[in-house]
Structure 1
Amino acid sequence: MTSPSTSHEDITLNLIPRCRTLGALKQIHGRLLTTGLSRHTFPISKLLLLSSTLSLPYALSVFHRIRNPSVFLFNTLISSVVSIHGSSHTHIVISLYSEVLCSRDVRPNAFTYPSLFKACGCDPRWHRHGRSLHAHILKFLDHESCDRFVLAGLVGFYANCGKLGVARTLFDRISEPDLATWNTVLTAYTRVGDAYGDGDLGSSAEVLQLFGKMQRSSSVKPNEVSLVALIKACTNIGAFWEGFWAHVYLIKNNLNLNQFVGTSLIDFYAKCGCLNLARQVFDKMPHRDTSCYNAMIRGLAIHGLGHEALEVYEKMISRGLIPDDATFLVTISACSHSGLVEEGLGVFHSIKGAHGVEPKVEHYGCLVDLLGRAGRLKEAEEWIEKMPMKPNAKLWRSFLGAATIHGDLERGQIAQKNLLGLEPENGRNYVLLSNIYAGVDRWNDVERARELMKTHGVDKSPGISTNYSIVP
């Protein structure tokens, strides 16, 4: 295929971006066929881009009618499918890539792989194929062809796979990473810090070091995505001044206080004890989504302001926003930590009653925590008995913790029995039961619980919370 040279090419090409329906697209396609423009690479690539947006089956039918398509057209269609449809049609782009491999006339190049890595990295079912593609790079591309865009695609793929060490090694090979690649690595480290919390402070600290290195680079400047990663890392390690600097940088550089930045700042300030600053950010946000409200409710709950948390929850509902699972969790938890039992019960009942959603085991866990903290253990036990799913260990531990606080030996033993069935080697469960025995001066039973721990080879795990609530 070559570039068109006919006089009416401009008119036809100008019509392609204006198509909004499949019918109009077919008319343009017919014009390309009658004028001979369909034999040229550039017009047909524009048609493929548009048709993959309006009708992917039609785009594929157009493509498979092309005689001897070039690698450019293969790349165009692969890239378009991934950018428009994400990972939902990974099987199609892998199939197209297989056609490239089977063709005698085309060979994959550096532009073939970044979109393929993006598609494979988003779905664990395709991770194996992504690793095979890495091997293909070594086979089909020489060192000079493996440019920073290919490496950036590999970085994104391994970051999405959770292979952060591999992603970082590849990232360090890029002489001048672009902003998107910087953000990929920053976000990957932040994701690890979020997943493990205090158990992986090193990942969050690495975000701060990488951010400083990015600032020293003359080629890129942080954007909103970069700041979200930084703020989340600061939240994980309690780096207040660094997080505050990020907020100041946002304002000074006229960056957008979008939902992602705003939610991160609200969570950061609330966990650092600056609830007034969290509320200021919340109030100044031009657009607030469900995640923003969840962060504000959680922040109020952390500080024991259950009534204020309920007000924010009700304001969210009144504005037509749809609460998600996290909304119900943080709101019931706020009620639990403020002794608002009836209000918390009302929120729980509204999950199915008002919103038509079946409560999950986490919601039942928060309900048990709510009732258990209030000493309403019999009621909590009744809820456990009528749960439509099997209670998990976290829920039973919350119930055991409540029984310990209120000295209810009978229900504590029930919880302990179920916990031993689910987690026979968890030392926290034995310690909680021992505390109940000690509270009623049953020292022989305390000793037996400790001997049982030794029999199972269990060590006490100190300093771990036993409640189900998501609020500390």
Structure 2
Amino acid sequence: MRTTSNPFTKHPILQILITKCKTLDTFQQTHAQIITTGLILHTYPLTQLISTILSSTLTTSLSYTLTIFNQAPNRTTFLFNTLISSILTHHNHHSQHTHLAFSLYTQILKIKTIKPNSYTYPLLFKACGSNPAWLDSGRALHAHVLKFLEPGEIDQFVQASLISFYSKCGKFGVCRYLFDQISQPDLGLWNSILSAYNYSVDDSDLSMEVLCLFSDLQKGSKIKPNEVSFVALINACANLSAFSQGIWAHSYVVKRNLKLNQFVVTSLIDLYVNCGFLEFARQVFDELPKKDVFCYNAMIRGFATHGYGLESLDLFKKMVSEGFGPDDVTMVAMISACSHVGLVDEGCEFFNSMREKYGLKPKVDHYGCLVDLLGRAGRLHKAMEIIRTMPMKPNAVLWRSLLGATRNHGNLEIGEIALDRLIELEPETSGNYVLLSNIYARMNKWEGVKRVRTLMKDNGINKMPGTSVLEIGGAFHQFLTADKTHPRSQEIYQKIDEMNRKLHEYGHNARTMDVLFDLEDEDREDALSYHSERLAIAFALIASDPNSPIRIIKNLRVCVDCHDSTKLVSMIYKREIIVKDRIRFHRFQDGSCSCLDYW
């Protein structure tokens, strides 16, 4: 943190201001003393008065402060910076405060005797990054940095704030360009770029970039990564389910005596959950002496995605008993946990308790979980009623949940309504069309399948290819459906043939309804055989330790036939197979799945 020494710092009146002023009366009395002693004529005492009042709990603090500021005899850049900083630090709950901060910044530009400096911009960039509506203002501010600051004035704080701003606006290419212009970045700048790429947690390419950047940090400088660096790294490993790299990061933190604080531990919980090591996640959680709601949320969410709804309920009760009030994220995790194991009444009770018991206003994510809960249980008309009566406009996630439920329960009428809404919201998302096509196929309505496929073709929509990724020996292997680009492709397809023979011996009949309608039955079965996760499993069977679990990440939802066949493969080859699909984890072992076929 940048500090400035000042002869007024030990002044007794300022000490009283900082330590004893709590009410409007005491502030006014101290304010009067600052005026009568002449301290008001000096910038530092005036800024202390302003920042102390704004950091108080007084409801009138902002208006009182602005009155003091407007009466100041000598308004310097330092005084403006203090007020802008205090407003955005203590009062940045509404867009109006960002407007006020920019209004003050505009006043700086109008006063000919002063100009903005490197202290002016970082908090303004932070404010712009907090709301997408301020993207253009942030860009204009960037132009002002280049206009008003000399190259030597653009320090690491300004550079870091720029990188953070552009990352929150999704401009990751700009972030990297800015970072690459810095000849000798310090640890703060390295953490800024690592955190910038880590900001979009669902993008695998960005997560891979975090791993590459972290490697560059270690190779290219004598700077030692700290806890902030490792939070970004571990989060990236969690997103990629990169267990080997993640366990290395955990070991490094322990060996270098870095602090296993709540942020690091929460990242580690997500890592082990996403890699399928739920027991490791629970161990890290249990060993943290000082827990917070974020740690509890991560562990509750971990149980939920692995299908352990009852464990989520138990942990929620423990969290509340220890005095931690649930937040929005907690309730999403709890309703989702109930959804994945069919606890419909309990899930509805959690939703209703948000407002009544915990004072939380349900958001669109909570309504989405509620619709998913009801849809999975076959209560499609009730789910439809929730969507129609919710206080905000339903998003694509809600309609997609409903469409998926209609596929499982065969309600064509609601499925067609859901697709119509999805085409309005996401006209280019192929999965929506495929879901409805599968509903038609299951009901042998091939004209409907043809109509959906024609609609996709007319709109230039191509089906998103299925991809599966697994890690063996620290190396990642990615497979597409019917992929033949892997160096060991010939062995993989031989193993696929062997798997199919054994599946038939065990009585498996391929479920071909969801495969393209214009293929012959034999071709449809072949198409299922070459789904990306089948190729990944085949490769793991020939390339990994036969006693180790097979861990696969899939970008799409597991199809019914792959789910059935993987259960049998786990029994035939005596291998535990853990598949993380777009929705949840499936742990296949001894011919059964942890989801109990409820997904």
Q: TM-score range by the shorter chain?
A: 0.7 to 0.9
Q: Partner of 1:33 in structure 2?
A: 35
Q: 1:35 to 1:217 in 2, by over 3 A?
A: farther
Q: Work out whether 1:74 is the aligned partner of 2:80.
A: yes
Q: Work out whether 1:23 is the aligned partner of 2:25.
A: yes
Q: Partner of 1:380 in structure 2?
A: 380
Q: Partner of 1:139 in structure 2?
A: 147
Asked if structure 2 preserves the Cα contact closer than 8 Å seen for 1:399 and 1:412, the reply is: no
Letter in 2 for 1:15: I
Q: 1:391 to 1:415 in 2, by over 3 A?
A: farther
Q: 1:139 to 1:447 in 2, by over 3 A?
A: closer
CA distance in 1, matches of 2:283, 2:181: 42
Q: How many aligned positions are there? A: 458
CA distance in 2, matches of 1:259, 1:9: 36
Q: Work out whether 1:190 is the aligned partner of 2:193.
A: no
Q: Work out whether 1:465 is the aligned partner of 2:557.
A: yes
Asked if structure 2 preserves the Cα contact closer than 8 Å seen for 1:9 and 1:37, the reply is: no
Letter in 2 for 1:250: V
Q: Partner of 2:125 in structure 1?
A: 117
Q: Please state whether the residue corresponding to 2:199 is helix, strand or coil.
A: helix
Q: Superposition pairs for residues 68-467 of structure 1, below 5 Å? A: 68-86=74-92, 88=94, 89-192=97-200, 194=201, 197=202, 200-216=203-219, 220-351=223-354, 354-355=357-358, 362-374=365-377, 377=378, 379-385=379-385, 387=387, 388-389=389-390, 393-406=396-409, 408=410, 411-423=411-423, 427-443=430-446, 446-447=449-450, 450-451=453-454, 453-454=456-457, 458-461=461-464, 463=466, 464-465=556-557
The CA deviation at 1:346 is: 4.3
CA distance in 2, matches of 1:380, 1:182: 49
CA distance in 1, matches of 2:105, 2:211: 39
CA distance in 1, matches of 2:104, 2:138: 15
CA distance in 2, matches of 1:128, 1:187: 22
The CA deviation at 1:191 is: 1.4
Deviations 1:417-454 (A, max 9, x none): 44235427555455444444544555565555545555
Q: Could you tell which deviates more after superposition, 110-119 or 227-236? A: 110-119
The CA deviation at 1:203 is: 0.8
Q: 1:432 to 1:35 in 2, by over 3 A?
A: closer
The CA deviation at 1:276 is: 0.9
Q: Please state whether the residue corresponding to 1:144 is helix, strand or coil.
A: helix
CA distance in 1, matches of 2:36, 2:455: 86
CA distance in 2, matches of 1:151, 1:373: 48
The CA deviation at 1:338 is: 3.0
Percent identity of the aligned residues?
50
Q: 1:429 to 1:262 in 2, by over 3 A?
A: same
Q: 1:14 to 1:245 in 2, by over 3 A?
A: same
The CA deviation at 1:316 is: 2.6
Q: Please state whether the residue corresponding to 2:152 is helix, strand or coil.
A: coil
Letter in 2 for 1:327: T
CA distance in 2, matches of 1:15, 1:256: 36
Instruction: Please report the TM-score for the alignment, with normalisation by the length of structure 1.
Output: 0.82
CA distance in 1, matches of 2:7, 2:292: 51
Q: Please state whether the residue corresponding to 1:423 is helix, strand or coil.
A: helix
Asked if structure 2 preserves the Cα contact closer than 8 Å seen for 1:117 and 1:153, the reply is: yes
Letter in 1 for 2:180: D
CA distance in 2, matches of 1:364, 1:77: 40
CA distance in 2, matches of 1:221, 1:15: 41
CA distance in 1, matches of 2:29, 2:450: 85
More strand by share: 2
Asked if structure 1 preserves the Cα contact closer than 8 Å seen for 2:122 and 2:157, the reply is: yes
Asked if structure 1 preserves the Cα contact closer than 8 Å seen for 2:406 and 2:414, the reply is: no
Q: 1:370 to 1:59 in 2, by over 3 A?
A: closer
More helix by share: 1
Letter in 2 for 1:64: N
The CA deviation at 1:358 is: 6.1
Deviations 1:329-370 (A, max 9, x none): 333333333344454454445445644656555445444544
CA distance in 2, matches of 1:43, 1:455: 70
Q: Please state whether the residue corresponding to 2:143 is helix, strand or coil.
A: helix
CA distance in 2, matches of 1:229, 1:131: 26
Q: Work out whether 1:11 is the aligned partner of 2:12.
A: yes
Asked if structure 2 preserves the Cα contact closer than 8 Å seen for 1:334 and 1:471, the reply is: no
CA distance in 2, matches of 1:255, 1:184: 19
Q: 1:219 to 1:401 in 2, by over 3 A?
A: same
Q: Please state whether the residue corresponding to 1:105 is helix, strand or coil.
A: coil
Q: 1:17 to 1:282 in 2, by over 3 A?
A: same
Letter in 2 for 1:205: M
Q: Partner of 2:484 in structure 1?
A: none
Q: 1:437 to 1:225 in 2, by over 3 A?
A: same
Letter in 1 for 2:232: A
Q: Partner of 2:69 in structure 1?
A: 63
Unaligned stretches of 5+ in structure 2? 467-555, 560-580, 586-599
CA distance in 1, matches of 2:238, 2:438: 34
CA distance in 1, matches of 2:144, 2:394: 47
Letter in 1 for 2:337: A
Q: Please state whether the residue corresponding to 1:416 is helix, strand or coil.
A: helix
Q: 1:57 to 1:314 in 2, by over 3 A?
A: same
Asked if structure 2 preserves the Cα contact closer than 8 Å seen for 1:68 and 1:105, the reply is: no
Q: 1:181 to 1:452 in 2, by over 3 A?
A: closer
